[in-house]
């Protein structure tokens, strides 16, 4: 049985359009830095945060599963997210912040700052530092 520790490093908005789902880049480290994409309408930030954790775990399991293992336990992969409970809370807060900014932009009647606000959406990111 393999045990893999994953540390989520940061998240950022990769692609944004007011009428489409928001795309995020998720940077994490399992011994080497990696990046995954996640797309969401941001209806429920907590379920989106658990989906992000699940996506990382599925990626690691798929990558590290040995198909022709001689021992049955060698086929299993245990993926541990460092400080998982706290990560879910912080990621859901981040998704809520992005959702609020998106709603503010969609409901805005101020056309003069529209482009600046659109560009500001792409600069929203969070780093998970210890």
* Whole-number pLDDT of residue 69: 62
Look-up of token digits 């981040």: 94
Instruction: Read off the pLDDT of each residue in 6-33 and give the average, rounded to a whole number.
Output: 93
Return the domain boundaries, the chain.
Answer: 2-127
Question: For residue 129, is pLDDT > 80?
Answer: no
Query: Residue 123 — pLDDT band, cuts 50, 70, 90?
Result: confident
3-state secondary structure string, the chain? CEEEEEEEEEEEEEECCCCCCEEEEEEEECCCEEEEEEEECCCCHHHHHHHHHHHHHHHHHHHHCCCCCCCHHHHCEEEEECCHHHHHHHHHHHHHHHHHHHHHHHHCCCCCCHHHHHHHHHCCEEECCC
Distance CA 10, CA 114 (A): 27
If one counts every other C-beta atom within 10 angstroms of the C-beta of residue 90, the result is 16
Average pLDDT over all residues of the chain:
88
Could you read off the pLDDT of 53-102 as tens digits, one per residue? 999 999 998 888 776 667 766 678 888 999 999 999 999 999 999 999 88
Phi/psi for 94 (5° steps) reads -60, -45
Instruction: Quote the pTM value.
Output: 0.87
* Whole-number pLDDT of residue 68: 67
Q: Work out the burial of residue 28: count CB atoms within 10 Å of its CB; fewer than 13 is exposed, 13-18 middle, 19 or more buried.
A: buried
Paired sense of beta strands 22-29 and 33-40, if any: antiparallel
């Amino acid at each position: 049985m393999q045990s893999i520790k994953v540390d989520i490093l940061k998240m950022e908005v990769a692609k944004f359009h007011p009428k489409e789902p928001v795309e995020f880049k998720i940077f994490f480290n399992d011994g080497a830095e990696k990046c995954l994409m996640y797309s969401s309408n941001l209806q429920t930030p907590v379920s989106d945060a658990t989906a992000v954790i699940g996506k990382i775990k599925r990626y690691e399991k798929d990558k590290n599963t040995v198909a022709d293992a001689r021992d049955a336990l060698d086929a299993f992969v245990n993926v541990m997210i460092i400080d998982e409970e706290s990560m879910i809370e912080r990621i859901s807060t981040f998704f809520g912040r992005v959702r609020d900014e998106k709603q503010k932009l969609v409901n805005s009647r101020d056309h003069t700052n529209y482009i600046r606000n659109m560009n500001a959406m792409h600069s929203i990111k969070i780093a998970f530092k210890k």
